[in-house]
Homo-oligomer: A and B are copies of this chain.
Amino acid sequence: MLTNPRSDRVRSVRALQKRPVRSRTGRFAVEGPQGVREAVRYAPEQVVDLYVTPEATARYADDIVAPARAAGLWLHEASPQVLAAMADAEAPQGVLAVVARPDHALDDVLAAAPRLLVLLSHVRDPGNAGTVIRGADAAGADAVLVSDASVDVHSPKVVRSTAGSLFHLPVVTGLDVADTLDRLRAAGVRSYAADGAGTTLLPEADLAGPHCWVMGNEAWGLPQEVRERCDDVVRVPIHGRAESLNLAMAATVCLYASAQMHGSGPAAG
């Protein structure tokens, strides 16, 4: 059992909290049973190392440990102190995985004839990014696209707030927004900027065909040149006195409007 919280191994896992280290090593950490369970279940080929306390080994015997063993993953027993020293969260609940960053490409996403996508343009808040990934998963989106200059989706806070959804659908990162919009158009996917400046109200938007929601930065929204490059600019109606919805809420409302349209339309899959 690993018991030394100051070992080189512990330091190297802890260092994955830093973006440059994640970039250099191509790895990130997943903390807590929910994320680790989904990683083991849906992306075992990406799991490099799994650290589990004796207590957690018993508690998650069926849903984490057994499937990890069956997949031939490298399982290390570690003391609670070692887990705490590795983790960003105050309580990683006895489970942590080091995972290789997947290499999803926009070409692969487009080749699979997607019907619902979301593109995050310069989204900076980890909670927002993670919540949108979770909402996109729940709404049945085919992938999440993330622009360069957005928050790193493999940072501990984003990973945590995706609640495992990071392993449920492809998340393509580092994209140039203008280039991505051009490639979406070439692939027959309409792009809809979700923005308070839109003149099309959400219930009137044409959500029947393949489309991609484009969400802007929390503070300044989408720049005009991005809005103009999109096929439409759509506004979530505000019925009360609120100025707006926050980014994650607006994205979820838009994605669920799309999901309902897809689910009830003739092309429902």
Residues of A within 8 A of B (CB): 34, 38, 42, 127, 131, 134-141, 163-165, 168-169, 203, 236-246, 248-249, 252-253, 256, 259-260, 263-264
B252 touches A141 (CB 8 A): no
Min Cβ gap A86→B in Å is 24
Given contacts A135-B249, A203-B264, contact A240 B164 (CB under 8 A): no
A263 touches B239 (CB 8 A): yes
Residue of B nearest to A130 (CB): B246
A139 touches B248 (CB 8 A): no
Given contacts A237-B259, A253-B253, contact A164 B243 (CB under 8 A): yes
Contacts of A131 in B (CB 8 A): 246, 249
Known: A138-B240, A256-B256. 4 other contacts (CB 8 A): A38-B241, A137-B240, A138-B249, A253-B256
CA gap between A169 and B243 in the complex, in Å: 13
Contacts of A239 in B (CB 8 A): 138-140, 259, 263
Min Cβ gap A63→B in Å is 12
B168 touches A42 (CB 8 A): no
Q: Return the contact of A242 from the options B163, B240, B244 (Cβ within 8 A).
A: B163
B240 touches A245 (CB 8 A): no
B237 touches A137 (CB 8 A): no
B141 touches A243 (CB 8 A): no
Min Cβ gap A84→B in Å is 21
Q: Return the contact of A203 from the options B134, B135, B260 (Cβ within 8 A).
A: B260
B168 touches A138 (CB 8 A): no
Contacts of A135 in B (CB 8 A): 245, 249
Contacts of A138 in B (CB 8 A): 236, 238-240, 242, 244-245, 249
Min Cβ gap A105→B in Å is 20
Min Cβ gap A93→B in Å is 13
CA gap between A14 and B239 in the complex, in Å: 35
Given contacts A203-B260, A249-B249, contact A240 B169 (CB under 8 A): yes
